[in-house]
């Protein structure tokens, strides 16, 4: 009986004999990640246990990306605690200030996550790295504390679900639309504790940014991980970044899946997730008229340079609608610099958009874009739960950078075709 990518990666990281779906195993980790919200809890548990040294300083990555630059005293104290711990234990991969980026965009860019890795992070969207062909999953901060102590983690090997996207993508359809369509099909608990293995000819032609977007939102279907097999596109991205060996895995032809799903991309138009769940998806033609107060372009889902190019291409020579706050947040300093060099920042500013530093801020209702009661926002982020971006009586709609940019111009949820015709 053949093995899936997930089973192969986990088998290579454990001493347990012949692990298969359902087995509980102890795995060696390649990366253990935390941010400015989750790291303090892990540090507290580490110190409460009386431990004086981490297992491997190079295993740990701290990224202060949620409430920084510090929005208040509490966030400043959290960051100081992490900063002091990182200095004490010689943790080299510590990112703050001008080096900080949204963690799940920053780590691939820095070459810290590679194909075939096992990665845990005290952040649910750690599954992003499956877009590189890694097994990556979110854990609690206490699990992260154990990883800092031992370099290992306990995991149950998940069953895999196979999703095959065939055909050619329609205009303005990208990874965000494909994953929203998938979630809309199976629901927010349709992949509960499964590894979503995504492939097919449409995925093979998708750029890495789109693949990372799809893996990022696997958790929105309840999945343990999302995985896309690494290929030439992946290697083109990582070959200048990798500083250690890596291995590419592919599922066997006779691998066993919990279920298999096939989608014809000819039937998938740009998608919008309506409030208040990512599964509440509709094609853009079915949305109707939804007036907006805010548009957010950024996040670990869609803040990469490819996303900004799409948005700028639509906003160029246009103006953000009066009464709409359009917030653009490049995901990393390198992304910001590339956007500046390519003239994208100028386009955003001339259109009337607000350009801010790399941060997760508005995505989780932290800062830099909080919604008031009754306000509606369209965002390229990954969650639209009640109160996620501010007041509990606000509304969040999820979509791609293309729809976000077009909607900022019209002041209502719109297709790019409406502003470019």
pLDDT tens digits for 331-376? 999 999 999 999 999 999 999 999 999 999 999 999 999 999 999 9
For the chain, give the mean pLDDT.
96
- Confidence band, pLDDT 50/70/90 cuts, at residue 421: confident
Residue with structure tokens 């990640």?
33
H or E stretch at 137:
strand 135-138
CATH number of the domain located at residue range(s) 272-420 in this protein: 3.30.499.10
Least confident of 68-72, 281-285, 389-393: 68-72
pTM of the model: 0.95
Give residue limits of the domains in the chain: 5-263, 272-420
- Confidence band, pLDDT 50/70/90 cuts, at residue 223: very high
- Sequence-distant (≥ 6) Cβ neighbours of residue 333 within 8 angstroms: 98, 99, 100, 101, 358
Q: Give the span between the Cα atoms of 11 and 335, in whole angstroms.
A: 35
Beta-sheet pairing, 60-63 with 225-227: unpaired
CATH number of the domain located at residue range(s) 5-263 in this protein: 3.30.499.10
């Amino acid at each position: 009986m053949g093995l899936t990518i997930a089973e192969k990666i986990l088998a290579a990281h454990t001493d347990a004999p012949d692990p298969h779906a359902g087995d509980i195993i102890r795995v060696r980790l390649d990366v253990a990640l935390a941010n400015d919200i989750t790291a303090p809890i892990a540090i507290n548990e580490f110190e409460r246990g009386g431990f004086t040294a981490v297992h491997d300083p190079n295993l740990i990555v701290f990224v202060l990306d949620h409430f920084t630059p510090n929005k208040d005293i509490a966030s400043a104290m959290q960051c100081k605690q992490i900063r002091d711990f990182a200095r004490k234990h010689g943790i080299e991969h510590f990112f703050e200030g001008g080096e900080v980026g949204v963690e799940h965009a920053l780590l691939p860019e820095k070459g810290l996550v590679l194909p075939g890795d096992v990665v845990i992070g005290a952040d649910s969207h750690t599954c992003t790295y499956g877009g590189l062909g890694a097994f990556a999953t979110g854990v609690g901060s206490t699990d992260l504390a154990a990883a800092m102590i031992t370099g290992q983690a306990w995991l149950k090997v998940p069953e895999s679900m196979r999703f095959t996207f065939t055909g050619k993508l329609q205009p303005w359809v990208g990874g965000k639309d494909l994953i929203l369509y998938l979630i809309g099909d199976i629901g927010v608990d349709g992949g509960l504790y499964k590894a979503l293995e995504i492939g097919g000819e449409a995925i093979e032609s998708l750029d890495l940014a789109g693949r990372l977007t799809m893996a990022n939102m696997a958790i929105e279907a309840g999945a343990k991980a999302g995985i896309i097999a690494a290929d030439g596109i992946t290697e083109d991205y990582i070959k200048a970044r990798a500083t250690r060996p890596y291995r590419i895995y592919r599922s066997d032809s006779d691998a066993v899946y919990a279920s298999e799903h096939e989608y014809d991309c000819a039937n998938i138009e740009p998608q919008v997730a309506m409030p208040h769940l990512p599964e509440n998806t509709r094609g853009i033609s079915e949305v109707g008229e939804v007036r907006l107060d805010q548009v957010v372009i950024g996040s670990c889902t869609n803040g990469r340079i490819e996303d900004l190019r799409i948005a700028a291409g639509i906003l160029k020579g246009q103006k953000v609608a009066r009464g709409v706050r359009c917030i653009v947040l490049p995901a990393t300093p390198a992304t910001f610099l590339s956007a500046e060099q390519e003239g994208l920042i100028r386009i955003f500013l001339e259109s009337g958009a607000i350009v801010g530093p790399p941060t997760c801020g508005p995505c989780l209702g932290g800062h830099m874009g909080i919604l008031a009661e009754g306000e509606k926002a369209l965002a390229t982020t990954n969650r639209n739960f009640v109160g996620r971006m501010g007041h509990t009586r606000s509304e969040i709609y999820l979509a791609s950078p293309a729809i976000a940019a077009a909607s900022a111009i019209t002041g209502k949820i719109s297709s790019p075709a409406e502003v470019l015709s």
